[in-house]
Chains A and B, each alone.
Chain A
Amino acid sequence: MLDFIQQLVSGIALGCVYGLIALGFVLIYKATEVVNFAQGDLMMLGGFFVFTFIGLMGIDYWLGFLFAVCGMAVFGMATERVLVRPILGYPQFSIVMATIGLGYFLRSIAGMIWGTDDLRIETPFSAGVLKIGDLVLAHDKLSVIVATVILCAVLYAFFNYTRMGTAMRATSENMLAAYYMGIPVKRVVSLIWAISAAVAACAGVLLAPITFIHSNVGLVLGLKAFPAAVLGGFGSIPGALVGGLIIGVIESLAGFYLPQGWKDIAPYLVLLVVLLVRPQGLFGLSMRKKV
């Protein structure tokens, strides 16, 4: 039983990271119908930014965190401006390929700058543990869960209660109509990319104590976060988180209870089964084209 809870908690912590990356996918997809395959690599870049600020430059953890998130937001905006804006409206698959290209590029550049070794970042949460009876829960895992909850609450409030959030939702429904209603669509889209990259950076920073940072970490985790977003129903923010949690927990439990090898494919098997039953994912809306 104790083992089960330990595995469950580490699954949830992992799931939160997947959920945060998935959240980035979903934000961008909702606003621009662009599927950003490089989202995991943005997270990786966020992790390296934090490493540079904290590990190499010796800045305070929280300040470094802030710098990294801001830096990634700027990077996200730049990506939108240079790569995404010119190809908006292309067939979806072309855009997917463009972001796959971006992923290749970022991985290689990161490898060239920071090397290909596994890097570790010391954080305030790296060492401590919380003991509840016999249960031992590491601070790093709890910190991920708490931070995810806070981040989601903030994003939820932003989208539902602010003017900019409403503008973003309008843009995601129909860009042209939003433009005619006086919404600065270009700025809105830029901002969405900034937010999405910032969320990815948070994921990268939170991930740092759990695992090492290396140039392929984004690819590995991104390929788990993607099924998470699809499982939840691409385009649904709560879906992304729930999907992330499901994938994380399944992976963690499968790794513990099932023979070797199941850990990596169990999430995909579950995904396929869910898609067979509900092709639009758990929280996705099934809409048919009107004729």
Chain B
Amino acid sequence: MRFIFKTDYDQDIRILKHSGYWWSYGVLLAVMLAAPYLLGSYLQSQLVFVFIYAIVGVALMILTGFTGQASLGHAAFLAIGAYTAGFMQSLGVPFIVYFPLAAILTGVVGALVGFPALRLHGIYLVIATIAFAFIVEEVLARWESVTHGNEGMRVRALDLLGMPVPRDSEAFYYLCLLVLVGAVLLALNLLRSPTGRAFVAIRDSETAGKSMGIDLAAYKVKSFAISAAITGLAGVLFAHKMTFISPEMFTLLLSIEFIMVIIIGGAFGVHGAIFGAIFIVMVDPFLTALKDDLPVLVASIGDSLGMSPEAAGQLREKLAKIGSAAGLKGAIYGLIIMMFILFEPYGLYGRWLKVKLFFQLFPLYKRATFKRQKTYVKSERNR
């Protein structure tokens, strides 16, 4: 176990707290930089989606994880970012202009959503954000002169200062990685400065925050604006990755997926957003692979256990039939969400921390360290 002897305030302020961090994050960054040359184009493309989801995850982490304001409307912010990119590009505006412009525009919209949110709590806020997202979706479908309505909109390849950056290129991969790293650094910087602490204070006790000099209205609006702006950036990247956008891509289900990113990852740190994004993006290809391979695998296990070939064949057929049933993916999706909240409430990052602690304390680790205490419900309505 490592003991850190603090002699300097900088030791607490630094993002990379000690040499171990330099090593592990350095290696991670090196692997990420080398990835396009190591992985096939399919995995590289999946990684780009991981980055985009992780950027939105970081944005949601700022709003929901740190400030405690729930939102089921982030798909709308993503949509605004994506459509800004599509529309601006069709007008011939260069990328370096519309990229920041998308962030500013979504940031302003986010602040506008933040204003009514000042007085809303918990479930009221969730519903208000859902309502907002529905309205944005409808506007996108009806405002045909800009968005081409339900027909959708083509987005041409990204053009960075005259250099084309197609969706599958290494350059696009690095651009997404760069934006993600930027978003992560921004979130970490906020966390170690007064604004981030004010966010956390609002999450834990509004009254105390007010008495400590925190202007609730200003900071809630700031949190919404920052979160929306980062999501807007992700939206631009999303538009260029998809090359085609239409209103039905930005539904409530996408917002739910974003929330799942932080719940599955663990809603109390930036790590969670990354872990969650990896999980959400990879679960789909994983399920597809499972659908194809599992029946064969089970049958071959049955075979080796002395099952007759006909019985094994029947088993394989049966499993394949269940596997190809229409709604299976949704059911597994639902199960995953429920299982995570039931058994892994601190998310993947929480599990990672537990495993780390287990090895740090090796023979002495106690299961009860993370055991949940018995809880009961006392009305939260009185606040």
Interface set of A (CB-CB < 8 Å, partner B): 29, 32-33, 35, 83, 86-90, 92-98, 100-112, 116, 172-176, 179, 215, 223, 226-227, 230, 234-235, 261, 264-265, 268-269, 271-272, 275-276, 279-281, 285, 287-291
Proximity bits, B96-135, A CB within 8 Å = 1, else 0? 0000000000000000000010011111101110111011
Judge whether B333 is part of the interface by a CB distance below 8 angstroms.
yes
Secondary structure type dominating chain A contacts: helix
Jot down 28 A-B pairs with beta carbons below 8 A, ordered by A. A83-B342, A86-B342, A93-B70, A93-B259, A97-B341, A100-B337, A101-B334, A104-B337, A107-B330, A108-B333, A116-B326, A116-B327, A174-B379, A175-B376, A227-B127, A230-B124, A234-B123, A234-B124, A235-B381, A272-B131, A272-B135, A276-B116, A279-B124, A285-B381, A287-B383, A288-B383, A289-B383, A291-B208
Indicate if the CB atoms of A268 and B134 lie closer than 8 Å.
Answer: yes
The interface residues of chain A lying within 8 Å CB-to-CB of B135 are: 265, 268-269, 272
In the bound assembly, the distance between CA atoms of A111 and B119 in angstroms comes to 40
Indicate if the CB atoms of B334 and A105 lie closer than 8 Å.
Answer: yes
Interface set of B (CB-CB < 8 Å, partner A): 64, 70, 116, 119-124, 126-128, 130-132, 134-135, 138, 141-142, 206-208, 252, 256, 259-260, 263, 325-331, 333-338, 341-342, 345, 375-383
A174-B378 contact, Cβ under 8 Å, with A108-B331, A261-B141, A268-B134: yes
Indicate if the CB atoms of A108 and B378 lie closer than 8 Å.
Answer: no
In the bound assembly, the distance between CA atoms of A241 and B338 in angstroms comes to 30
Smallest Cβ-Cβ distance to B374: which chain A residue? A89
Indicate if the CB atoms of B338 and A98 lie closer than 8 Å.
Answer: yes
In the bound assembly, the distance between CA atoms of A65 and B14 in angstroms comes to 65
The interface residues of chain A lying within 8 Å CB-to-CB of B334 are: 101-108
Indicate if the CB atoms of B330 and A261 lie closer than 8 Å.
Answer: no
Indicate if the CB atoms of B375 and A89 lie closer than 8 Å.
Answer: yes
Indicate if the CB atoms of B336 and A90 lie closer than 8 Å.
Answer: no
Indicate if the CB atoms of B130 and A223 lie closer than 8 Å.
Answer: yes
The interface residues of chain A lying within 8 Å CB-to-CB of B252 are: 223
A108-B327 contact, Cβ under 8 Å, with A33-B380, A89-B375: yes
In the bound assembly, the distance between CA atoms of A104 and B319 in angstroms comes to 22
The interface residues of chain B lying within 8 Å CB-to-CB of A227 are: 127, 130-131
In the bound assembly, the distance between CA atoms of A279 and B118 in angstroms comes to 9
The interface residues of chain A lying within 8 Å CB-to-CB of B126 are: 35, 93, 96
